Amino acid sequence: MQVPRAKGGVIGLSGNRDAGGRRIVRALPKDAEAVAVLREWAEQPDSLLGVAGLDLTGADLSGADVGGGMLAEAVLRDAVLVGTDFYRCHMEGAVLDGADLTGAGLVKATLDEASLRRATLDGADLGSAELYGADARGASLRGARLDGASLIDTLFQGADLSDASLRETSFKVVVDEHTVVRGLSGTAYGPMVVESGGRRREVGGRALELWLAGRGADVRVIDPGSRGLTYYAKIGDGHARSNPRGVVRRRFLDGVAHDEAFTRNLCWEPTEYLRLHELGHNDIDHVEISEREADAFVVAVTAVVRGWG
C-alpha cells in the first residue's frame, strides 16, 4: 500500500480504520519486519496486532487500539504511545524504556518483567494490570490509575507516583528515597521494600502507612489477616463442590462488599455473580467453601491454562 507523508515529514498509515478511526501509525520504526507487520495490521481493521519480539523503536502508535494484541518481548523503546489502548495485551518482557504512554489504557494488560525505565505513564490507566517483576525505575506515573493492579517485585526506585490512585492494589514494590509518592492515595496490600544506602528493608502495615504519609501520600494499608474473605463454589449441571464450574470470593471493605471470581486470566477479577444471584437474576447455584478448597481450584485452573496438566 502507498504510505503518504503528512506535514512535517510524519508518516501517516491509516489503512482501513476501525469504527473509532484509531487504526493509524503516525511514524514507522526502522526495522523492516516490524514495518511490514504494521502495514498489514493497518490494512485489516479486525486483526490483532502481533509484534512479539519485533523492534518498534521510535514508532508512533498514538491513539491506536491494539487491545488483545501480542507484544511480548517487543522493543518499543522511545515509542510514542499517547492514548494508545493496550486492553488485555500480552506485553511480557516488552521493552518500553523512554516510551511516552501518557493517558494510555493498560487495563488488564500483562507486563510481567517488562522494562519501563524512564517511561512516561502520566494519567495512564493500569487497572488490574499485572507487573510482576517489571522495572519502572525512573518512570513517571503522575495521576496514573493503579486500581487493582498486581505490583509485585515491581521496581519503582526514582519513579514519580504523584497523585496516582490505588484500590486494593498489591503494592509489594521496591522504592527508594527518590521515589515520589506525594498525593498517592487509596488502599493497598504490602509489604513494600525500601532501598536506602545499598541496603533493603521490608516495610508493611502501619509502618508502611506512616512511611507513605510522611512523604505526602494518603494510603490505607489493608491487613491481609483481616480481609474477611468468604469463598463460594459455583455448582450444578454436573459440577459438584469438589469440581466446581467456578470460584467466587467476597470481601467487605468499609462495609462495602467487593466480589471477585478467579478467571482464566489467572487472576481475581470483579464479578457481579453474587449480586445478580441475590437479586434472582441467574440460576447458577453456589455453596460456601474453605480457602483451602478455593486454593485447590486456583491451582487446577492454572495448571490447565498453562498446559501443566
pLDDT in tens, 113-134: 999 999 999 999 999 899 999 9
The pLDDT tens digits for 172-181 are: 999 999 999 9
Q: By the 8 A CB rule, do 272 and 281 touch?
A: no
- Mean pLDDT in the chain? 87
Nearest Cα neighbor of 27 from 2, 5, 48 is 5
Q: Name which of 150, 86, 168 is nearest 119 in CA terms.
A: 86
Residue 84 corresponds to which cell in the numbers above?
494508545
What pTM does this model have?
A: 0.70
pLDDT at residue 46 is higher than 90: no
* Strand blocks (E) in the chain: 150-155, 165-176, 185-189, 192-196, 199-203, 218-221, 230-235, 246-253, 256-262, 268-270, 285-289
How confident is the model over 285-298, as a mean pLDDT? 90
In the chain, % of residues over pLDDT 70: 89
